[in-house]
């Protein structure tokens, strides 16, 4: 999956497209090769970046310190390093696992 890549050190790189000032905090599928995240937080004084880390850490059930903003400090496109989980676990916890064909 394009939005997830495992790095050499075992951390996983997650690509996000963040939509601030949304009606509610939620994941909204894949958008242009990245996972779309809608946040109610406005992009002011780094509040949206903090909200991204908080939302992803809660969704993945890991500490905030396990999620690091790699790029996109002032951009809708963000990349996060996630440590402590493998790519498959992240996929499952974010709901990115495709259901088997019936």
pLDDT band for position 26 (cuts 50, 70, 90): very high
**Which pLDDT does position 100 carry in this prediction?**
56
Sign (positive or negative) of CA dihedral 65, 71, 77, 83: negative
- Look at residue 97 and tell me whether its pLDDT is greater than 60: yes
- Look at residue 1 and tell me whether its pLDDT is greater than 80: no
Query: Regarding the domain with residue range 4-93, which homologous superfamily does it belong to in the CATH classification?
Result: YggU-like (3.30.1200.10)
Domain map of the chain by residue range?
4-93
- Look at residue 30 and tell me whether its pLDDT is greater than 80: yes
Q: What is the pTM for the complete model shown? A: 0.90
Each residue of 40-83: pLDDT tens digit?
Answer: 999 999 999 999 999 999 999 999 999 999 999 999 999 999 99
Both structure tokens of 16 = 């996000």
């Amino acid at each position: 999956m394009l939005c997830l890549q495992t790095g050499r050190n075992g951390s996983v790189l997650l690509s996000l497209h963040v939509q601030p000032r949304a009606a509610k905090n939620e994941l909204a599928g894949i958008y242009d090769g990245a996972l779309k995240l809608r946040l109610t937080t406005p992009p002011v004084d780094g509040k949206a970046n903090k909200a991204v880390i908080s939302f992803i850490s809660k969704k993945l059930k890991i500490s905030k310190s396990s999620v690091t903003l790699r790029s996109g400090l002032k951009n809708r496109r963000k990349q996060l390093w996630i440590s402590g989980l493998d790519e498959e676990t992240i996929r499952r916890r974010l709901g990115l696992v495709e259901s088997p064909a019936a």
